Amino acid sequence: MVPFRKIVLRHFEYLERRFNKFVRYIGTFLFFLQMILYLGIVIYAPALALNAVTGLSLWGSVLAIGIVCTFYTTIGGMKAVLWTDVFQVAVMFAGFFAVIIKGSMEVGGIQKVWQIAEEGGRIEFWDFRVNPTIRHTFWSIVIGGTFTWTSTYGVNQSQVQRYLSVGTQKRANWALGMAIFGMVLVATSACLAGVVMYAYYSTCDPYTAGYVSQTDQLMPYFVLDLFNDYPGLPGLFTSSVFSAALSTVSSGLNALAAITGEDILKSIKPDISEARYALATKCFACFYGAVCILMTVVASQLGGVLQAALSIFGIVGGPLLGLFSLGIFFPCANSKGAAAGTLLALALAFWVGVGAQIYPPDSNPPPLDVSQCVNYTYPTQGPPEEDPPKIAKFYALSYSWYSLYAWLITIVFGLLISFATGHQNPKDADRTVQRSVGEAFCCCLSRETTDACLCGVPTEVEQADKLKEPPTYDEIKSYDYEKKSNGDVAYSNEAVNTADEVTVL
């Protein structure tokens, strides 16, 4: 088992080894920003569910969730995070399956559910429009989603620390494969539960009718409607929502505390004892828990929690993915280009994201039916809305494209600034921190082809020769000048003379 303290060194330390310490700090800052914003949303989401199910105060629920999760993460550390995740995912799937099975039975079977959803325009698999302002299309889900989830599973410390904790690369590959399969299953279950809920409320939408105050409360309301006569089942669903949130928050707090300890505390006090270091990381976890609780105030203003979470993955995760991509795949990129390109991408991504909050793009959702709602009063026509400014069109970019948008800015401007400030010579690159696209994605290619994709970076053999230290004078003198004992060509007298000269100098 890899010691947990070593895990952080194998992630953001890469940026220091490839570029410099300042770039490493940029990567650390991006992770801090992403996780604090995201964890505020994650704490806020189950509080909405608890408020809808039990009627408890929304902000009281926020405090309860944040304090409980912070407490067991602070006390238990990484082991508590891993074991609670195992239990929580089981509870989460139990809640999903209960909703899908019971809801489809009430509607008349899964085929009836699918029929109602198709007639209502909720099933769209093959929307091939290339307009980037359309909220969801085939391209935005496949291409934009690839970059969004790659930033999450590829360069996010809370995920990387899990891969490295299993001990070997083979186990890490298996863990990642199972995580991908699990996430597909979670997303499919969530979407299917949403389709069942739409079919159940196809003639009376609770949000439009005013039965719930936010769209994120629809699912808890649906659960109460389904299982009101079944004691314990509403609590099961509430537990599943809490389980999903707590597992995310606990791993995030653990990662934030570990990075603070390694990147900040140990740089200030490198000789700190193990006992004090362990105590300090627990204090950091407690501090970040309090900060994330405060961030729920911001989360409450961001609209739907799922879109807000994915937007943050794109706005902050996109530049971070671009930074690692510059280091791994572009040997000409230097530290100035990497730092400037990443910060520029972060600024422009935030500009678009914040603008979308001020001038929300029109998502053009299919109509909702309230014809069968009891005591529903149709709203009166309000005053016409003012036309948004022309710049609002720029903010209409779908949140699904945020990660790719930020990644492209990081790569393009990172390379331009690198060449403008004196790019790195690929021949001087460290082979151990570089990887060509051919090596990464085309493993079936020949060695000659993948070496050509390195764009001048030394091959593994050349790098090994480059790292070999030259023999000392005494080692050369001890060799047989005609032939080494292993049969290789011996050092010549000229080499010995050179060694003499170096020794004198």
Residues 87, 177, single domain; the answer is yes
CATH of the domain at 54: 1.20.1730.10
H-only helix segments in 138-232: 138-139, 145-155, 157-164, 169-200, 206-209, 218-227
Which token pair is 493?
Answer: 């007298």
% of the chain with per-residue pLDDT over 70: 74
- Does the pLDDT value for residue 67 go beyond 50? yes
Name the domain count of the chain.
Answer: 3
* Chain segment 360-370, per-residue pLDDT in tens: 777 677 788 78
* Chain segment 466-480, per-residue pLDDT in tens: 555 555 555 555 544
**Cα atoms in the 13 Å half-sphere on the side-chain side of 72:** 17
* Chain segment 4-51, per-residue pLDDT in tens: 334 444 567 888 888 888 998 899 889 888 888 888 888 887 777 777
- Within a domain: 318: yes
Q: Which long-range contacts (CB under 8 A, 24 or more apart) does 180-185 make?
A: 180/153, 182/89, 183/149, 185/93
- Does the pLDDT value for residue 227 go beyond 80? yes
Which pLDDT does position 382 carry in this prediction?
Answer: 54
Residues 401, 452, single domain; the answer is no
Residues 439, 350, single domain; the answer is no
Which pLDDT does position 488 carry in this prediction?
Answer: 46
Residues 447, 488, single domain; the answer is no
* Chain segment 88-138, per-residue pLDDT in tens: 777 778 888 888 998 999 998 989 999 998 888 888 888 888 888 888 889
Residues 444, 333, single domain; the answer is no
Residues 334, 413, single domain; the answer is yes
Residues 457, 496, single domain; the answer is no
Which token pair is 451?
Answer: 């070496």
Residues 480, 353, single domain; the answer is no
- Within a domain: 244: yes
- Within a domain: 384: no
349-374 burial code (b ≥16 CB/10 A, e <16): beebbebbeeeebeeeeeebebeebe
- Within a domain: 226: yes
Please tell me whether residue 368 adopts helix, strand or coil conformation. Answer: coil
- Within a domain: 382: no
Which token pair is 13?
Answer: 């330390």
- Does the pLDDT value for residue 319 go beyond 60? yes
- Within a domain: 51: yes
Which position has the higher pLDDT, 437 or 141?
141
Give the residue numbers spanning the domain of 63. Answer: 4-372+393-418
- Token pair 């590959």 is found at 173
Which position has the higher pLDDT, 453 or 291?
291
- Within a domain: 493: yes
- Does the pLDDT value for residue 164 go beyond 60? yes
Residues 353, 437, single domain; the answer is no
Residues 305, 453, single domain; the answer is no
Phi and psi for 398 in degrees, rounded to 5? -60, 140
Residues 452, 476, single domain; the answer is no
Phi and psi for 377 in degrees, rounded to 5? -110, 125
- Within a domain: 27: yes
Residues 436, 495, single domain; the answer is no
Type of residue found at 52 = A
